[in-house]
Amino acid sequence: MRYFIKLAYKGTGFHGWQLQPNALSVQQVVQEALQILFKKPITILGAGRTDAGVHAAQFFAHFDTDAIVDTDDLVLRLNAILPNSVVVYNVFKVSEEAHARFDALSRTYEYRIYLGRNPFLTETAWQWHHQKLNVEAMNKAANYLFDYTDFKCFSKSKTDVKTYNCKITEAHWVKNENHLTFTITADRFLRNMVRAVVGTLTDIGLGKNKPESIKMIVESRDRQKAGFSVPAKGLFLTKIVYPKNIFM
């Protein structure tokens, strides 16, 4: 039988979700915890790959096993084994064909900037000590993203993908006192895409480029034309949407 596991993790100290040969990953610690409890090898497949240091407020993975008698008890026992930086919220049965990665309809990320210094946010926000950002200009530039689907300019240069097309349905900045948050939703994302988008938009917020410049950047399909990749610690995967028919 196939089960989804709903979890969250603080990415600090992990080299992303995906298994790494010589580095600690979130997939590794969750998989090892499941194997301890089931007393047999368990392979889990995640909703996607997050880079080293990136966090997930909501993440899903699936695994196959015999019928689980008490999923609530399994959640309790998993959380007793897992490190404090990883928490399991739920384990639930899904259809046999359900896939945590390929069935996802959309993913939402937030990039969090703290305007100033805060010792309690050193690992979960990019602390901004530079000149003031023009949030209005950054939002104007973000609106141009809806006009495009090919985002090769924001993709990590050496990556093996069949298409650079993504359908962005949400992209905006919100400022709340010293907290500045960029939210972006799409059907899929390229490697390093969100961090490159944020870097490009902050350049515009600093007045280095005009909001309209993002059109030239996207149309160039050239990573060197886009902005720098902002620090991973400010990036959170916050929501994944699936079709209702995969749930039992």
The span from the CA of 42 to the CA of 39, in Å, is: 9
Residue 64 is a catalytic residue: no
Region for 115 from its dihedrals, namely left if φ exceeds 0, alpha if ψ lies in -120 to 50, beta otherwise: beta
The span from the CA of 3 to the CA of 73, in Å, is: 15
Catalytic residue, candidates 51, 66, 203, 222:
51
SS3 annotation, the chain? CEEEEEEEECCCCCCCCCCECCECCHHHHHHHHHHHHHCCCCCCEECCCCCCCCEEEEEEEEEECCCCCCHHHHHHHHHHHCCCCEEEEEEEEECCCCCCCCCCCEEEEEEEEEECCCHHHCCCCEEECCCCCCHHHHHHHHHHHHHCCECHHHCCCCCCCCCCECCEEEEEEEEECCEEEEEEEECCCCCCHHHHHHHHHHHHHCCCCCCCHHHHHHHHCCHHHCCCCCCHHHEEEEEEECCHHHEC
Catalytic site residues?
A: 51
